[in-house]
Every structure is written in structure tokens, then in C-alpha cells.
Amino acid sequence: MLGSFSAEAQLSRRQIKKNSKRMTGFKGKKNTFAKSRQYNYVGISLNGLNYLGDLSPNSSRYSTDFKLTKPGVGLSFGHRFGPFYTLQGSFMYGTLVGDDFISADPYQQDSRFRYVRNLSFRNHIKELSVTAVFDLYQNKNTYISRVSWTPYGFVGLSGFHHNPQGKVNQQSSLPEAGQWVNLKPLGTEGQYSDLPADAVNYGLKPYSNFQISVPFGIGIRYRINDVMDFNLETGTRYIFTDYIDDVSGNYVDLLYLNSDLAREMSDRSTELNAAVSGEPRNIEARDATSGPIIAGNGGYDSYGGYGREFLYNYRGKSNNKDIYFVTTLRVTYILGGSYKKAKFR
């Protein structure tokens, strides 16, 4: 009897020591987001695109003309990895536009030289992006019990194709009159011209139609039902080119450009009508701003537009890269989502 009691006491001491060691090494329960709670979704979106750059209404870094907002469409696929974060891939197609005739006030000090410049463009954007989405309110459970709404932020990386175009003035004597033409092959700032070594823009390389950007922004997501959500978001694309609008550096002597079409699309200050709308320009305001016509530009007429404001030959300002931002309305559908309510008898 005494031997049995001694053996039990010894076992008890061993168990206490073992439990103490477990408690000492306990680091808490690992908080994982079970695979059964992860899910995929697809989405379709309607977008509004706005441009900020050399053809903005005025010199403010974030000046844009909301009258020139253009629509776009998009598709997306996402995977929720955790209670706060999702990885999303998206494709977007949309158009950016800028127009000095529409955006620049010929009587406002900050924009009247842009009105004289009279440049315009459109650019069809095809964008592929991958973004990390971070929710403010966490969703610990399955998609069925996800939060009814949450604000979120996103940041990522995208690649896009762009191709700036300009519309040749209907009153032009060129065969392309009234047509949209690709601006990059024209080298409107002397990219393909044999410029002398002392000329402005000497050695300027053509820009690429393929670019990368950093998309970032904020949004809010609402739950529609068990398997559908609605998103409203606004995002900025920080890009690494200043040629979304085909405008960046200085004017070049028109004599050195390779064609009459390049000369006409490079300097449009003498045109009497707006290229895109065909409306008559305010010639009185143009002349009052720029003064007499500039001579010696390769023998071609020109007026002192944007560059005259700075007493230099600027066509644009290359020290600020272009930006565009996108406002998005998106509806998403959770893939493989099924939920059956319990039946009570």
C-alpha cells in the first residue's frame, strides 16, 4: 500500500514538472486565417479617368478639368488571404484627354498662355495592375459573415500601353485634315530630327508606348448580399513618363522637323479654330496675350504661347511627370460561394 502511494506521488511530481515546462514554453495560440475562410472573387467596373499634366487648366500640380472626364471599363480578380488583406489583379481600358482650348481661360493670368499654345490630345490607356488591398475592419470568419461595409486602401504596380493622338485641324491643307493621327512617330519635339548640336532638345530620345506606374488610393466596400459586394474607390496612377500628352520639353525650330504634319502638330498657335470641336478661337485674346507673331521659327509663323509666360521656349515642363487618376464603381461576385440555411422541422 505504501509502495503504491509512493509511485503515485512520483508520477504526480513528474506530471507537474511536465505541465510547468509546457506553460513556460507556451507562446499563445497562432492566429491564422484558415484556408476554408479564404475566397476568390471576380468584378466588373465602370471607371472615370482624369488627366493631370502639361495641358491641365493651370500651373497647379493637381489641376485637372473635370469637364474632360472620360469613361473606362475594367475586369478584376481577387483572392482574400487574411482578415485584413486581399490581392487583386485588374485590367482597365479607358481614355485620357486634354485640350487647351477647353481648359485654359484666355483671360486668366495663370492659363492665358496655355490658351495661346492651343495643344490637345487623346490617349487610349490599356492597363494591367496588381494591388494589395488593406481593409480597415477585419473579417475573421467566412465570406458569409463578412462585415457589412469597410473602408480600405490599396497600393500596387501596373504596366500600361498608351498612344497619344492629336486631331488635325479641319481647315488644314494637309490630306490628314480632320483625322486623328498618332503623335509619337511625328517627333513633335524633335525626337526623330537631325538637330544641330547647339539646338534645344538635341539628342532627345523617343518615348516608349509601354510604361509602368504605381497605383494607390482609397475606397469603401458595401456588402450587397451573401456573394456580392459594391465598391466605390478613387485612385491615382503615379507614372514615370511626361509624354502621356506628347508634351514635355521645348519647342524646336520647325524647319528641322521631318514633315509638314509634324510641324503642324508641334505648334498650333496660329490655328483659327479648335482642332477637336471646330469652334472658332478667341483670336483677340490670343493676340493680346502673345503680342505680334514670332518670326524666325524656321520661316514658319508662330505665336508666343506657354513658353512666353516664362520668357523661354517651353512647350511643356519636363520636371513634373504626368499623372492620371481613376474613379471606380465596381461590383464583385464571390466565386464558388454557396450557402444553405438550416432546415428546421
pLDDT-based confidence at residue 312 (cuts at 50, 70, 90): confident
CA–CA separation, 161 and 175 (whole Å): 28
pLDDT-based confidence at residue 306 (cuts at 50, 70, 90): confident
CA–CA separation, 345 and 339 (whole Å): 19
Give tens-digit pLDDT for 142-193. 888 899 999 999 999 999 999 999 999 999 999 999 999 999 999 999 999 9
The per-residue b/e assignment along 38-76, b for 16 or more CB within 10 angstroms, e otherwise, is: ebebebebebbbbbbbbbbbeeeeeebbeebebebebeb
Mean pLDDT of 24-51: 79
Residue 337 pLDDT greater than 70, yes or no: no
Location of C-alpha cell 514635355: 248
For the chain, the domains span 36-334
Q: What is the pLDDT of residue 43?
A: 98
Residue 18: what are its φ and ψ, rounded to 5°?
Answer: -65, -45
Residue 343 pLDDT greater than 80, yes or no: no
CA distances from 286 to 65, 293, 294 (A): 21, 11, 13
Mean pLDDT of 86-94: 98
Mean pLDDT of 292-305: 75
For 219-257, give the secondary structure using H, E and C: EEEEECCCCEEEEEEEEEEEECCCCCCCCCCECCCHHHC
Q: What is the pLDDT of residue 342?
A: 46
pTM of the model: 0.85
DSSP per-residue letters across 70-127: EEEEEEEEEEE-SSSEEEEEEEEEEEEEEEHHHH--TTSTTTHHHHHH--EEEEEEEE
Q: Tell whether domain 36-334 is in CATH 2.60.120.200.
A: no
Give tens-digit pLDDT for 201-253. 899 999 999 999 999 999 999 999 999 999 999 999 999 999 999 999 999 88
Give tens-digit pLDDT for 241-262. 999 999 999 998 899 999 999 9
Mean pLDDT of 102-114: 92
